[in-house]
Structure 1
Amino acid sequence: MVVSAIAPPKATRIPESFFILKSLTSQDLDASVRRGQWTTQEHNEAGLNAAFERAENVYLVFSANKSGEYFGYARMLAPISGDLGAATSPVTSSDVSPDDGPRSIPTPATATAPSGRIIDDSARGTIFWEADDVAEDEDSPLKEQATNDLSAEQELGRPFRIEWISTGRLPFFRTRGLRNAWNANREVKIARDGTELEPVVGRKLMLLFHGVGF
């Protein structure tokens, strides 16, 4: 008797995944719209690639640092791969002198931001601001500002193709009440670069770009 082999069932893919991505400037996002590609921080790549494998569509919601609004959203067209050196042109150790190490520049607290420091590692192409400890109150304006600014460090990885679906601006205040269960139930505006959104909330946020409330 011949027994035919039974192929194992294919893994079921989920319909959608949603992520918040941040940029230092809106000019970088404008350039992304023209080129149809984006380069995220290295530590975000594995999570985005895993989502691309498990989901039919991976949507990326973008905002520029300190803008107080979402810039728009796009869909991943391909996994993140390619030549890392071609994407970032890193500075090698032979190009950096011992005097070119990072500098820490303290910044005082203001009415809109907590105290912190600027880390200037210009020789290696990195400059970012980080906050000192701030209050844990998620509605604190200081925490919201600090969360936006913490996205500033840029250890960029490899470029990947995206399709922009909307570049209509969405102010953060219009998302009030939307909370991300996958980020300690904080409001969606309180997120770091690469934060994944719970899918129901991600869909609601995406619909707001098209004038559909919740």
Structure 2
Amino acid sequence: MSGVELDLACPEIDVDDFSSVSKESIDSQSNQMQTRITQENEQYKSTLTNTIQTPIEVQSIPIHDEKQTGALQNIFHDTVYFLIKSGNEENVSLAKAKGVWSTPPANENKLNRAFRQHRNVILIFSVAESKAFQGFARMSCEARHDSQPINWVLPPGMSNRAFSGVIYIDWISRRSLPFNQTLHLFNSWNENKPVKIGRDGQEIEPRCAETLCRLFPSDPTIDILSISRKADKHKSSSRSPLSINPSKDINHRSSTSIDRHRSDVTLYLIIINRLTNLAIIFYTNLNQYRTLQKKKDVG
């Protein structure tokens, strides 16, 4: 558990070694053992603390209108976030111009499921090797298969058949955000890696993702109120009995809580083990001390 090896073996004690034990030596050994245990526990607690991500400080997009601020907050309510990776800038530019996106079937199914289960699904775009995010958008509907295919710029040998349908999106910011402004953000649903790291379709922990979205420069070309109204309309259809469970990848969401639980259990076992060893030493020494006292009284 958590890479900590427990030494559960009790120390071997030779009774003859205590033939000349004095009360002072017993107290000295007990104090030394207690000091060592305290130091080990403090060191272990320090290690655990350093592995836990520090609280994320939420920053605000510089929007001065109260209605726009409320609309943005509405978009961040009951929201799931996904990282979208593009192999080239041309496809993201096309997505910004047409308000559409396409993704392989596995990702499409995941996004469709999230859209049915939540009020908002936010896609955060990043072009490979660009060292930046290129903006973020809200899904306005599930992928459609009755729309005209988009002429995406694809690698040689790949056709549009690799993509299932067309996802219509509403851009919230088309502005870029350099990676060097997001170095303090880590995705706990991706092994606490920097938020910039992730495969196409990687889900991002909501607090981290919201903070990331708020770092994007405000986009004056966006009608944020209209997008918020769409979120309100979608709200009534996102709570059907078949979709009460949140969209989640159990492996990504639960790993952090499991690791912390294991760390707590490991620390508890270490403390119990050390205290047990201390008790054994103390009572053995005490018995030897009493034996010596009886011999002195008899003598």
TM tier, shorter chain?
0.5 to 0.7
Match in the other structure for 2:149: 87
Match in the other structure for 2:127: 64
TM-score by length of 2: 0.43
Distance in 1, matches of 2:158 and 2:217, equals 40
Q: Give 1:50 shift.
A: 1.2
Equivalent position to 1:20, from 69, 83, 95: 83
Q: Give 1:123 shift.
A: 4.1
Q: Quick check: 1:47 aligned with 2:110?
A: yes
Match in the other structure for 2:177: 170
Secondary structure of the residue aligned to 2:133 is strand
Distance in 2, matches of 1:32 and 1:122, equals 20
TM-score by length of 1: 0.59
Higher fraction of helix: 2
Q: Give 1:197 shift.
A: 0.5
Counterpart of 2:92, as a letter, is L
Contact 1:87 1:157 in 2 (8 A): no
Secondary structure of the residue aligned to 1:87 is coil
Correspondence 1:101-120 to 2 at 5 A: none
Distance in 1, matches of 2:208 and 2:94, equals 28
Counterpart of 1:37, as a letter, is V
Counterpart of 1:51, as a letter, is A
Distance in 2, matches of 1:195 and 1:183, equals 8
Secondary structure of the residue aligned to 2:175 is coil
Q: Relative to structure 1, is the Cα distance of residues 123 and 187 closer, same or farther in structure 2, using a 3 angstrom cutoff?
A: closer
Distance in 2, matches of 1:66 and 1:196, equals 20
Contact 1:69 1:170 in 2 (8 A): yes
Contact 2:145 2:164 in 1 (8 A): no
Distance in 2, matches of 1:184 and 1:155, equals 29
Structure 1 segments unaligned to the other structure (5+ residues): 1-13, 90-120, 127-153
Higher fraction of strand: 1
1:16-38 CA-to-partner distances (Å, cap 9, x unmatched) read 01000011111111111111111
Q: Quick check: 1:185 aligned with 2:192?
A: yes
Q: Give 1:156 shift.
A: 2.1
Match in the other structure for 2:206: 199
Count of residues paired in the alignment: 140
Contact 1:88 1:156 in 2 (8 A): no
Secondary structure of the residue aligned to 2:212 is helix
1:69-96 CA-to-partner distances (Å, cap 9, x unmatched) read 0000000000113149x5379xxxxxxx
Match in the other structure for 1:146: none
Q: State which structure, 1 or 2, has the greater radius of gyration over its C-alpha atoms.
A: 2
RMSD (Å), alpha carbons:
2.5
Contact 2:177 2:217 in 1 (8 A): no
Structure 2 segments unaligned to the other structure (5+ residues): 1-76, 219-299
Distance in 2, matches of 1:71 and 1:32, equals 11
Distance in 1, matches of 2:113 and 2:158, equals 29
